[in-house]
């Protein structure tokens, strides 16, 4: 395996970690306003992600940084072509982070309600936009021979991308509901389990439709088909285990469904990193988008030295905060 392929796989791994971990963050953020009935329940939900949400975003920073260093042409084309969606994601994440910190600063219902709506919007908007972006990356966008994006915002709003947005949003909310059931006790646990059972079929139906479109229309490669089938099976297993109150297995199923879906998207993309629907010469591949061999070699040594430490630290964080949260005193 050459270093450019290694870094393509490494970036896929980083985005798998980001969507699996930040996915339930986004889901819990949406549920804080739509599911929780009062401030006590909202604080209980916030407590489930309070110790880990900012650490989960490190996966995005690392993934974007790896893309910039390993595939600068890919980074430039994606961040210029998807400038508006990326900008909205950045603004939503900033607002969401501020809301987490500020909602508890005043004992005022109106003050907390405003920040709760900010958390909802700051969680739902990135979930939808990430689905839109990744669906377009796999489907391809109009690129000139010099790899510059030549389309407009309307080109990004194609049916497959809109289905991707709906799928990511629904699956993340379902993932968040399962996580709340896993991390809480009492009435919140019971209601979140029921919500996951009722909303899960909607999320699974969207996911199955998205995966079917991917393997039928965009990539009939055996690896992509196998990964898509495994993601579908994991989603169905998550539904079944949640119905019998096995929240740990249900969460493992939703996490596997998300992770395998992201891997299937990268498998469908390979060996391209950004297909061109315009000039075929504009397609970016692992070969023509990669940085110099020396840069890739330096990056590899840095990753080998420091990535295990980051993984150990984050694993330790989840272990420390592994216990369920009791209802918050009203």
Q: How many domains does the chain have?
A: 1
Q: Tell whether 292 is covered by a domain.
A: yes
Q: Tell whether 265 is covered by a domain.
A: no
- What is the span of the domain harbouring residue 170? 3-198+272-320
Short-list 211, 205, 35, 22, CA closest to 127: 22
| Whether the Cβ atoms of residue 14 and residue 77 lie closer than 8 Å to each other | no
Q: Tell whether 325 is covered by a domain.
A: no
Q: Residue range 282-297: average pLDDT?
A: 92
| Whether the Cβ atoms of residue 207 and residue 167 lie closer than 8 Å to each other | yes
pLDDT digits (tens, 9 = 90+) for 46-81: 999 988 888 898 899 999 999 999 999 999 999 888
Q: Is 147 helix (H, G, I), strand (E, B) or coil?
A: coil
In angstroms, the Cα distances linking 281 to 67, 138, 139, 145, 285 are 21, 17, 16, 5, 10
Structure confidence at residue 329 (pLDDT):
65
Share of the chain above pLDDT 90, in %: 72
**Site of tokens 């990964």:** 227
Q: Tell whether 192 is covered by a domain.
A: yes
Q: What is the largest CA-CA distance in the chain?
A: 62
pLDDT digits (tens, 9 = 90+) for 27-54: 999 999 999 888 889 999 999 998 888 8
Mean of pLDDT over the chain:
92
pLDDT digits (tens, 9 = 90+) for 239-268: 999 999 899 999 999 999 999 999 999 999
| Whether the Cβ atoms of residue 15 and residue 63 lie closer than 8 Å to each other | yes
Q: Tell whether 132 is covered by a domain.
A: yes
Helices (H), the chain: 3-34, 39-49, 53-56, 58-70, 72-81, 83-102, 109-139, 153-156, 159-183, 186-213, 222-243, 247-269, 286-289, 293-320
Structure confidence at residue 170 (pLDDT):
97
CA 316 to chain centre: 22
Confidence bin at 221 (pLDDT 50/70/90): confident
Structure confidence at residue 54 (pLDDT):
86
Structure confidence at residue 261 (pLDDT):
97
Q: Tell whether 38 is covered by a domain.
A: yes
The 3-state secondary structure of 23-49, one letter per residue: HHHHHHHHHHHHCCCCHHHHHHHHHHH
In whole angstroms, what is the distance from residue 90 CA to residue 64 CA?
A: 12
In whole angstroms, what is the distance from residue 242 CA to residue 17 CA?
A: 22
pLDDT digits (tens, 9 = 90+) for 144-155: 988 888 888 888
CA 163 to chain centre: 15
Structure confidence at residue 325 (pLDDT):
83
pLDDT digits (tens, 9 = 90+) for 302-326: 888 888 888 898 899 888 888 888 8
What are the phi and psi torsion angles at 175 (to 5°)? -60, -40
Structure confidence at residue 266 (pLDDT):
96
Structure-token pair, residue 328: 């918050």
Cα angle 144, 90, 277 (rounded to 5 degrees) comes to 20
What is the secondary structure of 249-263 as a DSSP string? HHHHHHHHHHHHHHH
Q: Residue range 268-272: average pLDDT?
A: 92
Q: Is 282 helix (H, G, I), strand (E, B) or coil?
A: helix
How crowded is the C-beta side of 231, counted as CA atoms within 13 Å? 30
In whole angstroms, what is the distance from residue 48 CA to residue 326 CA?
A: 10
In whole angstroms, what is the distance from residue 248 CA to residue 279 CA?
A: 48
Structure confidence at residue 217 (pLDDT):
85
Q: For residue 330, is pLDDT > 70?
A: no
Structure-token pair, residue 244: 């019998």
Q: Which residues have C-beta within 8 Å of that of residue 235, sequence separation ≥ 6?
A: 171, 203, 204, 207, 208, 253, 254, 257
Structure confidence at residue 84 (pLDDT):
93
| Whether the Cβ atoms of residue 27 and residue 179 lie closer than 8 Å to each other | yes
pLDDT digits (tens, 9 = 90+) for 185-206: 889 999 999 999 999 999 999 9
**Site of tokens 């989960």:** 56
pLDDT digits (tens, 9 = 90+) for 89-135: 999 999 999 999 999 888 888 999 999 999 999 999 999 999 999 99
pLDDT digits (tens, 9 = 90+) for 224-236: 999 999 999 999 9
Structure confidence at residue 31 (pLDDT):
95
């Amino acid at each position: 395996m050459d270093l450019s392929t290694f870094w393509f796989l490494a970036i896929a791994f980083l985005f798998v970690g980001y969507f699996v971990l930040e996915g339930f963050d986004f889901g819990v953020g949406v549920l804080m306003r739509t599911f929780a009935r009062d401030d006590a329940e909202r604080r209980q939900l916030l407590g489930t992600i309070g110790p880990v949400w900012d650490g989960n975003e490190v996966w995005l920073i690392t993934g974007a940084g790896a893309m910039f260093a390993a595939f600068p042409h890919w980074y430039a084309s994606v961040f210029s072509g998807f400038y508006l969606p990326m900008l909205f994601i950045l603004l939503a994440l900033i607002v969401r982070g501020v809301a987490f910190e500020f909602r508890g600063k005043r004992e005022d219902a109106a003050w907390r309600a405003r920040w709760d709506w900010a958390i909802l919007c700051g969680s739902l908007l990135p979930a939808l936009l990430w689905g839109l972006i990744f669906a377009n990356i796999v489907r391809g966008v109009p690129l000139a021979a010099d790899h510059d994006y030549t389309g407009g915002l309307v080109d990004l709003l194609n049916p497959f991308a809109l289905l991707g947005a709906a799928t990511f949003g629904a699956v993340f909310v379902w993932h968040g509901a399962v996580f709340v059931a896993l991390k809480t006790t009492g009435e919140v646990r019971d209601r979140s389990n029921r919500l996951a059972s009722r909303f899960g079929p909607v999320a699974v139906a969207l996911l199955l439709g998205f995966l079917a479109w991917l393997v039928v229309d965009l990539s009939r490669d055996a690896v992509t088909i196998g990964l898509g089938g495994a993601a579908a099976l994991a989603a169905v297993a998550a539904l079944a285990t949640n119905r019998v109150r096995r929240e740990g297995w249900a969460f493992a199923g939703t996490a596997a469904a998300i992770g395998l879906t992201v891997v299937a998207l990268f498998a469908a993309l390979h060996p391209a990193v950004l297909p061109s629907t315009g000039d075929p010469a504009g397609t970016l591949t692992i070969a023509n988008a990669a940085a110099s061999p020396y840069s890739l070699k330096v990056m590899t040594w840095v990753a080998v030295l420091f990535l295990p430490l980051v993984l150990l630290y984050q694993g330790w964080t989840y272990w420390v905060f592994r216990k369920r949260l009791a209802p918050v005193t009203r």
